Structure 1
Amino acid sequence: MNIPDRYHGVWQRTLLETPTERDTTTWVRWLQTGLWHGDLRVPAAADRNTVAGRAELQGFGGTTLITQPDAAQPEVCTWQRQIDLQPPRSTPDAGHMVFESPEVVHETGIHGTYFEVWERLPGSLGTRIALAALDDQGAPTAERLLVAGRYLMHLRPRRAAWPVDTTADDSLAEVVARHPQQAEALLDFDISFSTLEHGVWTIERATSPAWEDGVRACTMHRMGHAEATVKCDGLTLHWQVLEWHAPD
C-alpha cells in the first residue's frame, strides 16, 4: 500500500536532538517513493578513507509504513529496513510524525529519545521509481535504485553475512573491531545519493568518497510492466520494476 503523498520526495535532516547531543552537521538524506525508502547518513567528521570512518556511516533501505494506532497521538512512520549498513536493531525504526508545513516534518522517537527536523528538498516531487536489480538468472536481488523527482539513490548491500557473535544493537564499528580480518567484507556496502537530470548521473555523496563528484551518462527505460533497463557505468543492465510513476 502506497504511503500518503505528503511523505513523497527527498528529505534533508536539519536537526537531531537527543538527551546527550545536538547535531546539525551530519549529512542526511531520506528518499521516499510511494512505498520504498533509502537513507544515507554521513557524519561531518567521518573519514571515509579509513575503516573506522566508514564504520561510522549509517544507511538503509526498504519499505515504509504509515499508521495511527492511537487517535490521540500523531501518526507513526515505520521504516521497515530490508537492507542496512549497520547491524540489526532490537526495536523498530519508528517515529511520531507532525507536519509543521507541507515541506517540514518533525519526528519524535518512539523506541528512543530523540527529536528530528526534516525539510523536503526542492525538485524531489513528481517522478517516483523503485527498481530491484536482476541477477544472471533473472531473479530480483536486494540491490535497489530509487528515484524521487530529480534525485536518485543507489543501494547495494554487502554480500557477507554478519559474524555469528553479532547481537542486536551492536554497532558496525564494534563488529569490525572484533573481526578486523573481515573488515573489508563487512564494509562492502554501497549507497550513493545523486541527481539524475537529462540523462546525466552526478553523485553528491556516497559511502565511498571515490564515487563522489563523478559524472556519467545514465538512462532508464521501462521495458513493459515488470522490467526496466538502466544503461549506466557501474550498474547492472536489467531491473525489476517495483514502482514506476513518471508523469509527462
Structure 2
Amino acid sequence: MNANDLIPDRYHGVWQRTLLQTPATHDTTTWVRWLQTGLWHGDLRVPPEADRTTPAGRAEQQGFGGTTLITHPDAGQPEVCTWQRQIDLQPPRSTPDAGHMVFEAPDCVHETGIHGQYFEVWERLPGSLGTRIALAALDATGAPTAERLLVAGRYLMHLRPRSAAWPAGTAPDDSLAEVVARHPQRAEDLLDFDISFGTLEHGVWTIERASVPALEGRVDSVTVQRKDQHTAWVGSARLPQRWQVLEWHAVDAPD
C-alpha cells in the first residue's frame, strides 16, 4: 500500500449515522456503523423494524466493505468520498456509492448523495482513533481471500462474504429481499454473510451488532499480532488464524 493511497486523517475512525433524509424518508433509528482505516472500510446497517428471525427480515439489512477513495472536483465544490465496494450483502448497484462530504466539525460530517437524492449526518464515535489495522484472511494455500478484519481504535469489525454466487437473473439494483423472495430455497446460502461489529479491549471482543443476529452479545477472546511485514496471526475460536497485512498503524494496538 502506497502512502499516497491513504485517505485524509479526518475520515479515520468509526462513524455513526444519526440522520438519513430522502424525499420519502426521515430516519434517525436505523443502527449504522461505518469503520474507516487509512484505506479500507466496513459498513453495517440494521433497520430497527426488521424481523431478523425470518429470512425476509435479515435480507433488509445492508453491509459492505472495500476501499475508500477521496477526490476533489472543481474549485468550490465539496470533496467526493467513494466507497468502492469489494464485498456487499446486497446485490450489485448500477451506480457508484459516492457522496459530497462537508465536515461541520472534526467529529461530524454531512454527506449529500451524488447518484441519489439523500442527505446523511455522521458522527465519529469516541475511542475510534489511534490504531488502524486492515487484514485479509489467507486460505490454505496462503492466498488472500475477500474476508476482512478491520480495527479502528477500540473497535473491531469482521467481514466474511457469502460463498454462493448470485442466482441467474439477478439484476443491478435488485434488493436482497427481492432475490430471496424469488429463490426461497437458496435463502440460507444468500444470507450466509457475516459482518460483526463491537469493541476489542484487553483481548476481549464484545459483539454489539451483527448481520447474523445470533452473534450479537457474544464475547470472544481475540488477539491480533503482527508476525512480519506481510502477515499477522489472530487468536480466536471462530476466526481464521493466518492473515495478510493490508494496513497496520498500531497505536495502542490490541493485545
* Bucket of the pairwise TM-score, normalised by the shorter protein: over 0.9
Instruction: String of CA shifts for 1:199-243, please: whole Å, max 9, x gaps.
Output: 001000001111111111110100000000000111010000000
SS in 2 for 1:96: strand
Is 1:57 equivalent to 2:24 in the alignment? no
* Counterpart for residue 44 of structure 1: 48
1:73 aligns with 2:77: yes
Unmatched runs of 5 consecutive residues or more in structure 2: none
Q: CA deviation at 1:158?
A: 0.3
The equivalent residue for 2:183 is: 179
Cα shift at 1:70 = 1.8
1:134 aligns with 2:138: yes
Unaligned regions of 5+ residues in structure 1, if any? Answer: none
Are 2:56 and 2:181, in contact at CA under 8 Å, matched by a contact in 1?
A: no
SS in 1 for 2:189: helix
Give, in whole Å, the separation in 1 of the partners of 2:74 and 2:183: 43
Which of residues 137, 155, 159 in structure 2 aligns to 1:151? 155
Alignment length (residue pairs):
248
What is the TM-score when the length of structure 2 is the normalising length? 0.96
Deviation readout 1:125-162 (Å, 9 max, x if unpaired): 00000000000111000000000000000000000000
Asked if 1:164 is matched to 2:168, the reply is: yes
Q: Flag as ranges the 4+ runs of structure 1 deviating above 3 A.
A: none
The residue aligned with 1:102 is: 106
> How far apart, in 2, do the equivalents of 1:22 and 1:88 lie?
25
C-alpha separation in 2, matches of 1:37 and 1:93: 13
CA contact (8 A) 2:233 2:243 kept: yes
The secondary structure found in structure 2 opposite 1:39 is: strand
Q: What residue number does 1:9 align with?
A: 13
Partner of 1:20 in structure 2? Answer: 24
Amino acid at match of 1:148: A
Cα distance in structure 2, aligned partners of 1:207 and 1:73: 36
Letter in 2 for 1:161: A
For residue 247 of structure 1, report the CA deviation from its aligned partner. 2.1
Q: Percent identity?
A: 79
- Relative to the length of structure 1, the TM-score reads 0.99
Of 109, 124, 127, 1:123 maps to: 127
Match of 1:188 among 162, 186, 192: 192
RMSD: 0.6
The reply to whether residue 214 of structure 1 matches residue 218 of structure 2 is yes
Aligned mates of 2:50, 2:242 — CA distance in 1? 34
